[in-house]
A and B are shown apart, each in its own frame.
Chain A
């Protein structure tokens, strides 16, 4: 799986949009970008994933650049409960690509 690079930490004001970047310059054509988050002392929680088109769900939006070498996770209106470590993971599809390779992620702190 391709390696990802994320900032160690970020701050965001409550109610503002949080934009979390991720670089994955070695991503290959059949690899998806996944985002998980982990709130303190809990297990990771799936947020969203995408291949090349932008994706949106009830939790977040995922913007993938045209060359697919980077992406941004957007939390449109961050709340204090969004304080967590956010992991960007690149993973292939198909039966053998079942495991997730986590890095250290980005600690997002949402401030009141």
Chain B
């Protein structure tokens, strides 16, 4: 499968624990995005990488959230000291830079439940 891969697909954690999600983008895609989606809402932008550089972070990304993309390949999103409000679907997407922006391809997401 050459699409965007996210692991794990589901994560249940206790409040206060740290969690880390992984995203493997489409191999030639240099742009990588994280979005968050709560029930009944559309996805909301969290952060964006071009290669290994994190170029934008949404205000939604509190200091408990950190994302990395070492070597410009896979990315991780870590949430420290999870809260119940962090329960959501976390989506990763990737795209390639071109003359104009191409469409983004999304992974299946990681559904986080904080209990």
Chain A contacts to B: CB under 8 angstroms: 34, 41-46, 49, 85, 87, 91, 93-95, 97-105
Give, as a whole number of angstroms, the nearest-CB distance from A6 to chain B: 10
Q: Known: A43-B93, A87-B42. Is A93-B101 also a contact (CB below 8 A)?
A: yes
Number of chain B interface residues as a range: 20 to 34
Give, as a whole number of angstroms, the nearest-CB distance from B104 to chain A: 6
A101: chain B residues at CB < 8 Å are 45
18 sample A-B contacts, Cβ–Cβ < 8 Å, listed by A number: A34-B103, A41-B109, A41-B111, A42-B109, A43-B106, A43-B109, A44-B43, A44-B91, A49-B103, A94-B100, A95-B97, A95-B101, A99-B33, A100-B43, A100-B45, A100-B104, A103-B42, A104-B42
Question: Which residues of B89-115 are within 8 A (CB) of A?
Answer: 91, 93, 95, 97, 100-101, 103-109, 111
- Whether B103 and A105, one on each chain, are in contact in the complex, defined by CB atoms closer than 8 angstroms, is no
Pick from A43, A44, A98 the residue with the most CB of B within 10 Å. Answer: A43
Pick from B40, B41, B56, B106 the residue with the most CB of A within 10 Å. Answer: B106
